[in-house]
Amino acid sequence: MSLSYSKEYLIDTVKELQKSGVETEYLEFKTNKYKPEDIGEYISALSNSAAIMGRTTAYMIWGVDDSAHEFIGTEFTPSKEKIGNEELENWLHRFLSPKINFYFHEVEINNTKIILLEIEAAFRHPVKFQNNSYIRIGSYKKKLKDFPEKERRLWAILNDNHFEQEFALENIEEGKVLDLLDYPAYFSLTKQTVPSGRQGIIEAFLSEEVIKKSETGKWNITNFGAILLAKSLSDFPKLKNKNLRIISYKDNTKNNTIKEKVISKGYAVGFEEAINYIQDILPSNEIIETALRKEVPVYPIIAVRELVANLLIHQDFHVRGSSPMVEIFSNRMEITNPGIPLVNTERFLDSPPKSRNESIASFMRRIGICEERGSGIDKVIYAVEHYQLPAPIFEKTDEHTRVILFAHKDLKQMDKNERVRACYMHACLKNVEREYLTNTSIRKRFGIEEQNMASASRIIKETVDAGLIRLFDESAAPKLRKYIPYWA
């Protein structure tokens, strides 16, 4: 497996590393030695050491003389190596824990074959190979457990690891930065005038931490900058699977796809395109308003905006092979992001928001895409109630968070679980508004006529019996009863 870097980029990277003239904690030179176990241990050691050194990538290079550090070429061809019947790369992946990205690249310099192994820095946990963690001490590979001070330092760094400040692309020219990032959109979104010269744009990006100066005098684009402002995320090999996918289906299954669109722009510059596309393909209902007929989307757009914004902002970017996704079925809309939620799904409405990506969240708040305070879930529930839709489901899978919006159903079409869920969400919304759930408020929520207040009472009782709401005042007369969520 290989990232789609250009030949020129790979050659420049190898030359810059070769210029250093010395092996470091994140760089190892080899000629032809390629014992599989040795490579696995080096991946662990270099990955862990890169994290300690504050780098996002470590490297091994085959075809460079150990002492003179000249290009001499190598006979090592990773794609042809096997351990038994298993390919080398797959074998290495199998024994690494946690799974990290590494890529072999073949480069030709001065008519000699060079192999570059690019290794992702450790995140969250030290990288182990065959259940042992390794570290670099100078240019030597050692077991991490034998160096407790290094181990403590590594854990401290991993616990404070921020995806946003890692690099999406390194050592690129100034002009390339402007080719890759949508700087006119950045200045428009932040309500600034575009500087007249290139230097003013670079200085703005530098102060925003969209880019950082590299050790070679070129520029590194941060994940923060790329994920928000990329003209195309596909230009950033480590982020290309973070494109937002929008899929619509013919019915309530995934068997018949009608349309699929990938929003390849960064999240800030591509957000309105995504929302407009979703709005265009959403099913609609016809209503009569002031004697005129008009079509309105089945789902309130304000709810869609808030949920898509949350989807993008709060995802776990370290979950591999998974992208944020919006799926539209005939009876529901599912909005899924990689990463399990940081708060209990039952408390989405009232819990203070937590984000893995605070810099991204802060920028999106600044340009008005998401709420300045709170998660915006209260807006979602309010809009759902206004449309008298079934309550959404907030659910957690092993590696994802999913929100499901449902198309309209009359109360008589809702099952008990749907009624109870809607009643609980209503109690949460009232609590956030410093009010109480009452028979009157439930009748309004479900569109129940006053003469049918017994129906509202039954829904309240079902929700009390489910343990999701409780009486605010046990001594209150039946007509004056008020209810709050079970946790309030």
In this structure, which amino acid lies at residue 346? E
Question: Contact 133/126 with Cβ under 8 angstroms?
Answer: yes
* Alpha carbons 483 and 488: distance in angstroms, whole number: 10
Close Cβ partners of 268 (under 8 Å, ≥ 6 residues apart): 185, 186, 189, 228, 229, 363, 364, 367, 369
Question: Contact 427/469 with Cβ under 8 angstroms?
Answer: yes
Let me know the angle formed at the C-alpha of 332 by 330 and 336, rounded to the nearest 5 degrees: 125
* Alpha carbons 312 and 20: distance in angstroms, whole number: 39
pLDDT of residue 21: 64
* Alpha carbons 214 and 17: distance in angstroms, whole number: 13
Strands (E), 223-324: 244-249, 257-263, 284-289, 292-297
pTM for this model (two decimals): 0.74
Q: What CA–CA distances, in Å, run from 363 to 166, 355, 370, 374?
A: 17, 13, 9, 15
Burial of 377 (0-12, 13-18, 19+ CB in 10 A): buried
* Alpha carbons 48 and 55: distance in angstroms, whole number: 10
**How high is the mean pLDDT in each 10-residue block of the chain (488 residues)?**
68 83 82 87 94 87 80 89 91 91 90 91 90 91 93 83 84 93 97 93 96 88 96 91 95 93 97 95 66 69 93 86 92 93 82 78 90 72 92 91 93 95 95 94 94 95 96 90 93
* Alpha carbons 118 and 61: distance in angstroms, whole number: 9
Q: What CA–CA distances, in Å, run from 145 to 122, 148, 227, 398?
A: 16, 6, 36, 30
SS3 263: strand
In this structure, which amino acid lies at residue 438? T
Cis, bond preceding 485 (omega within 30 deg of 0)? no
Let me know the angle formed at the C-alpha of 230 by 227 and 234, rounded to the nearest 5 degrees: 90
* Alpha carbons 159 and 317: distance in angstroms, whole number: 15
Which domains occur in the chain, in start order?
7-161 (3.30.950), 167-236 (no CATH), 243-408 (3.30.565.60), 411-488 (1.10.10.10)
* Alpha carbons 268 and 362: distance in angstroms, whole number: 12
Q: What CA–CA distances, in Å, run from 468 to 425, 453, 464, 484?
A: 9, 21, 6, 9
Distance of CA 286 to the CA centre of its chain: 36
Q: Which helix (H) or strand (E) segment is 280 a member of?
A: helix 267-281
Q: What CA–CA distances, in Å, run from 100 to 17, 25, 397, 409?
A: 22, 18, 22, 45
* Alpha carbons 456 and 459: distance in angstroms, whole number: 5
Tokens 């092979």 belong to 321
Tokens 């990329």 belong to 230
List residues bridging with 71 in a β-sheet: 64
In this structure, which amino acid lies at residue 34? Y
Q: Which helix (H) or strand (E) segment is 171 a member of?
A: strand 167-172
Tokens 């030709």 belong to 108
Helix (H), strand (E), coil (C) string for 67-81: CCCCECCCCCCHHHC
Close Cβ partners of 371 (under 8 Å, ≥ 6 residues apart): 306, 365, 379
Strand order in the sheet with 102-109: 27-30, 57-62, 112-120, 102-109
Burial of 307 (0-12, 13-18, 19+ CB in 10 A): buried
* Alpha carbons 196 and 184: distance in angstroms, whole number: 11
List residues bridging with 60 in a β-sheet: 28, 117
Tokens 């001490």 belong to 137
